[in-house]
Amino acid sequence: MTHPDPTTRPSAFAPIAQLARDLRSGATSSVALTRECLRRVAAHDGHFKSFIAVYEPEALAAAALADKELGAGRDRGPLHGIPVALKDLVNIEGKPTTAGSPLLADNIARQDADIVRRIVEAGGVIVGKTHMVQLALGAWGTNSHMDTPRNPAGRAADTLAPGGSSSGSAVAVAAHLVPWAIGSDTGGSVRVPAAFCGIVGFKPTIDALPRGGVYPLSETLDSLGLLVSSVEDARLCFEALASLPAASPDANPKASRRIGVLEADELAPLAPAVARNHALSLQRLEEAGFSLVPFRFPAPLAAFKAPTNAIMIAEGAWVNDRLLDDPEAPMDPSVRPRLIAARATTAVQYLEAQATAARWQQAFAAEMDRLGLSAIAMPTTAMTAPRLEDIDHDLAPVHFTRPINLLALCGIALPAGQDEDQRPIGLQLVGRAGDDHALLGVASAVGSALNGSPASSPEPCSV
């Protein structure tokens, strides 16, 4: 008997829209699709380590119900019967929510999170929960106590950082174990793993996807987000789950082709391969008819670190304060010191950071309006995914993502090529607060200009 090679990814799923058509035509069933996800997880996740829990009986029951409803003519929309994985900070009634920490192993949810209710109402099938950085505080994707998911990207000999904190959700999609997954993003925790793993990561405007029943890091900065294989999948998932319907078309159609770009001094942190790729991506956008307009954020990107940390770490310390006092408790060495240090944040520092954020949010919106821009195109990360042994935990790969959270914007990371070591490179698009649907439209056009995903992506298959 031959066994599947755990280092080899299964073929990609067909786009969600195609899977939805196959479900309705009878070409497949939700039970068959769910069984295929469970088979892939059983065969390959021992290597990729993306799942912390798999809910096989519940998933198959939900899939059977989806098939029954579709057969009876009750159609809940494009996610009806489609499997999904959830980052393990989303409550499912009766299941533990660990937030990546063994200290929360007995944290049993009393009711479903709001996003779970939305998924169930849309007919989605929850396959299980995914690993994450402890307490969602970290962007490299490592977790020394509950497992670090293995990035499928790069050369076979490499063990690359998956990106975090939504590490398992990104890996589960990039390894083709599920068609899509839920993550969360406080300073880049959806977009960084998407860029490192070579997939699409969409961070909507705060509360565009409901956060009730989700273990928080920062009430001010957290967003739920989507890890998917394409912009079209992001659009379908977001429109099925979002709090607000799609807005009417932009009243200024000329703005849809005007994109802001960073000036040279703000691109100085880029690694050479990423800088070359970014220049090539912008060249392709110009060739596709986009107008590229120099744009400056309300402050240098490096200046966003202090106010973001003052808010995020202070709020995170408040949420997790009860976990910090026992020095013997299993807490990652890159997490505990940051939260303990945050106890020294003064009320003045915290309120000054909030006031700075409000001021910069207004300035950003005014500059976007003045220039007539539909989005900003910028790098997702300054480097490609490092090997796990090369990570410097005193740094974080969020230089280009963290400002988007402080400004309460929406952002999406798109695959934009690879470096010489076959490590993915991401291009980030940023839109105004509340312009999520419009940003997804721009991202679709930009993705077409970039020729979609990296050339090494396999052909998708239906089930």
Q: Identify whether the C-beta of residue 227 lies closer than 8 Å to the C-beta of residue 199.
A: yes
> Hunting for tokens 């090997």 — which residue is that?
387
Residue 345 amino acid letter: T
CA distance 339 to 325: 11
Length reported for the chain: 463
- The strand ranges marked E within 89-159 are 125-130
Provide the β-strand partners of residue 280: none
- Straight-line distance from the first to the last Cα atom of the chain, in angstroms, rounded to the nearest whole number: 23
Question: Prior bond to 291 cis, omega within 30?
Answer: no
* Distance from chain centroid for Cα 301: 21
**Which string of b and e fits 132-147 if b means at least 16 CB within 10 Å?**
bbbbbbbbbbbbebbb
Q: What is the full DSSP assignment across 33-76? A: HHHHHHHHHHHHHHHH--EEEE-HHHHHHHHHHHHHHHHTT---
- The set of residues, in sequence order, having a beta carbon less than 8 Å from that of 105 and lying 6+ positions away, is 96, 98
Distance, in Å, from the CA atom of 50 to the CA atom of 97, rounded to the nearest integer, reads 16
Residue pair 367/412 in contact by the 8 Å Cβ criterion: no
Query: Do residues 259 and 412 make contact, with C-beta atoms less than 8 angstroms apart?
Result: no
Q: Which helix (H) or strand (E) holds 309?
A: helix 305-320
Show which residues are catalytic: 87, 165, 189
Enter the tokens of residue 30.
């939700």
Q: How far apart are CA 427 and CA 200, in angstroms?
A: 10
- 3 to 6, 44, 127, 152: CA distances (angstroms): 9, 10, 23, 19
Can you say how many angstroms the Cα of residue 249 is from the centroid of all Cα atoms in its chain?
Answer: 26
Alpha-carbon distance 33 to 39, whole Å? Answer: 10
Q: Which amino acid is at 428?
A: Q
Q: How far apart are CA 220 and CA 216, in angstroms?
A: 10
